[in-house]
Amino acid sequence: MTHRNDKVAKIVPLKARPCPACGKPEATEFGPFCSRRCADLDLGRWLNGEYRIPTDEKPSLDGEPPEED
């Protein structure tokens, strides 16, 4: 006779989070956003450079990597 492991994984539902753009309830189809509009607005912010990590490096205007000292 084989021993069976009768332990069952506990499934915990995720907490519902509000849309990061407008605060309305999240829609499963567009998660974590409430609509295609809010998702597109967020994408536009990424593409416009509104979300960025601060750095001490000077930006390169000609597309080449910055010179090392």
pLDDT digit string (tens) for 2-33?
556 667 888 887 778 899 999 999 998 998 99
> Residues with Cβ < 8 Å from 2, sequence gap 6 or more?
none
Confidence of residue 63 (pLDDT cuts 50, 70, 90): low
The DSSP secondary-structure symbol of 32 reads T
pTM above 0.75, yes or no: no
Residues 43/37, Cβ–Cβ less than 8 Å: no
Q: For residues 61 and 11, what is the distance between their CA atoms, to the nearest angstrom?
A: 51
Q: Which of 51, 17, 14 is nearest to 34 (CA)?
A: 17
Give me 20's structure tokens: 């990061």
SS3 label, residue 66 = coil
